[in-house]
Amino acid sequence: MEFTKEMRGTHTLYLPAMLDQHFPLIRHALRGEGYQVRVLRNEPQEDKCPKNCACYPVSRMVGQMLSALDGGDCENPRRSAFLLPPAGAGCAGENHFRPIELALEDAGYPDIPVLALNVRERQFFPGLTLTPGLARKALSAILLGDMLQLCLMDAAPAEAEPGAAEALHRQWLHDLGPQIAAGKTCSGAHRRACCREIVKSFAALPRREGPVVKVVMAGEPYLKYCAAGNLDLLHTLWAHGCKVWLSGFVGFGICVVDALQEQFGRHGSRALKNACGMARDYAQKLQRELLELAAGAGLDHPSLYQTVKERAAQVLGPRPVDDAWYLGADVLDALESGYDLAVIPCAAGCLGPERIRREVAEPLGKVRPEARVFLLDYTAPPADREAALAGLLAALEERRA
């Protein structure tokens, strides 16, 4: 079903959950360009998730869409459309675009458009235009989402009043939305002022003293950032007194562009390769500004993408830039920052547990034998997943003692 220019004014675009800290801000970037946008927050019902889908994130997203349509979360299914996040570096999720449409058709929703901002396949939709203005607003939303995430990861495990950090986080999402929609946060000076106020407000939260266990949480984006994907793993870790390293989305986005540059360099045009290089360098400039503010506030934070890349090449060896490479580089960056325990939520598929063991856990074990890496396979039988989680929690208690 095509999404036409006329539908832009009549249909609501629904974003399936993926980036819990960022989508609530990114939707305002779209709203500022005239789109009606909502982020789905309902839990996907298991019986709605396709069992024959090879991609766990896609299966969960389809399940969430169908659950929202059948459960009333989509106010008017005939005036609804779904906007999928773009596929990542080396991700095969883009291959499931047509199967998602077929799943909606089989469920009785053949007239619901499915859109995707997919750079690599260059899919276009008449009613959805990625303008420079929209791109700048979305990038500013991601940068602010990263800063909010860094502050939340720092404050939540030490808050004196339970829930105070998340309440402040929600307030900032509410306050920043209109500024993003109006394009104010595209100004570097305005965005930096917002970041300083964010840091100041989280620093003012009352905190309690007590031991914390530092844990890296890494993985492909859906399982790393989305509570619906990892069954709220973040709150489980917080409940056990963990300070969680959850690196920002900007670094992953730069990785995607870097991978595209390599791809175009091998098989594409020089113009596209150069364009990707310029986009990567510009994003790294903005990332540097963000990380300097985080460092000045004493927050645990990831390194600049280029530093992460160079370190990974030295320690893990030269490899193509893809999702598995970035996962290993992300964990290595956290290990260099004083973390020595990592949990990687994963699922069978193109970035499954066997590949993670082979390309991430084993190479890291050779250079950092003292570090412990736990894999939580969300497509494994429940008893196996519960046993893996129990092993992780036992290791946390051991660290605390």
Condensed to tens digits (0 to 9), the pLDDT of residues 294-327 reads 999 999 999 999 999 999 998 888 888 888 999 9
Name which of 239, 240, 228 is nearest 378 in CA terms. 228
Q: H-helix or E-strand containing 249?
A: helix 249-267
pLDDT band of residue 123 (cuts 50, 70, 90) is low
Residue 106 CB neighbour total at 10 angstroms: 11
For helices 305-316 and 323-336, the axis angle rounded to 10 degrees is 100
Give the residue carrying structure tokens 């736990």.
374
pLDDT band of residue 122 (cuts 50, 70, 90) is very low
- Confidence at residue 170, expressed as pLDDT on a 0 to 100 scale: 97
Q: How is the chain split into domains, by residue range?
A: 6-129, 211-246+303-400
- Confidence at residue 269, expressed as pLDDT on a 0 to 100 scale: 82
Q: Is 168 helix (H, G, I), strand (E, B) or coil?
A: helix
If one compares 263 and 87, the residue with the highest pLDDT of the two is 263
* Mean pLDDT, range 26-37, rounded to an integer: 95
Q: How far apart are CA 137 and CA 29, in angstroms?
A: 5
Q: How far apart are CA 175 and CA 191, in angstroms?
A: 13
Q: H-helix or E-strand containing 367?
A: helix 362-367
Name the pairing type of β-strands 242-245 and 213-217.
Answer: parallel
pLDDT band of residue 93 (cuts 50, 70, 90) is low
- Confidence at residue 87, expressed as pLDDT on a 0 to 100 scale: 54
Flag the least confident range among 36-40, 50-54, 191-195.
50-54
Phi and psi dihedrals of 347, rounded to 5? -155, 155
- Confidence at residue 89, expressed as pLDDT on a 0 to 100 scale: 45
**Residue 398: is its pLDDT beyond 50?**
yes
- Tell me whether domains 6-129 and 211-246+303-400 share a fold: yes
> Residues for the chain: how many in total?
401
Q: Is 313 helix (H, G, I), strand (E, B) or coil?
A: helix
Longest distance between any two alpha carbons in the chain, whole Å: 62
Cα–Cα distances in Å, from 355 out to 17, 77, 132, 224, 281?
Answer: 25, 39, 37, 17, 30
- Confidence at residue 84, expressed as pLDDT on a 0 to 100 scale: 84
| Distant-in-sequence contacts of 255-259, Cβ < 8 A, 24+ apart | 255/88, 255/89, 255/305, 255/321, 255/325, 255/326, 256/86, 256/88, 256/89, 256/119, 257/283, 258/89, 258/305, 258/309, 258/321, 259/89, 259/90, 259/320, 259/321, 259/322
Residue-wise DSSP of 121-142: TT--BTTB---HHHHHHHHHHH
Q: Is 37 helix (H, G, I), strand (E, B) or coil?
A: strand
Which tens digits make up the pLDDT trace of 235-263?
999 999 999 999 999 999 999 899 889 88
Percentage of the chain with pLDDT > 70? 95
Burial class (CB in 10 A: 0-12, 13-18, 19+), 51: exposed
Q: H-helix or E-strand containing 359?
A: none
CA quadruple 237, 238, 242, 248: dihedral positive or negative?
positive
pLDDT band of residue 95 (cuts 50, 70, 90) is low
Torsion of Cα atoms, 15 then 17 then 22 then 26, to 10°: 0
Please tell us whether the domain made up of 6-129 is placed in CATH 1.10.8.
Answer: no
- Of these ranges, 134-138, 144-148, 258-262, the one predicted with the greatest mean pLDDT is 144-148
pLDDT band of residue 2 (cuts 50, 70, 90) is confident
Name which of 118, 123, 91, 105 is nearest 50 in CA terms. 105
Give the residue carrying structure tokens 């497509």.
379
β-bridge partners, 377: 346
Flag the least confident range among 82-96, 239-253, 275-289, 298-312.
82-96
- Confidence at residue 91, expressed as pLDDT on a 0 to 100 scale: 56
Q: How far apart are CA 38 and CA 40, in angstroms?
A: 6
Q: What is the pTM (predicted TM-score) of this model?
A: 0.93
- Can you name the CATH fold of 211-246+303-400? Rossmann fold (3.40.50)
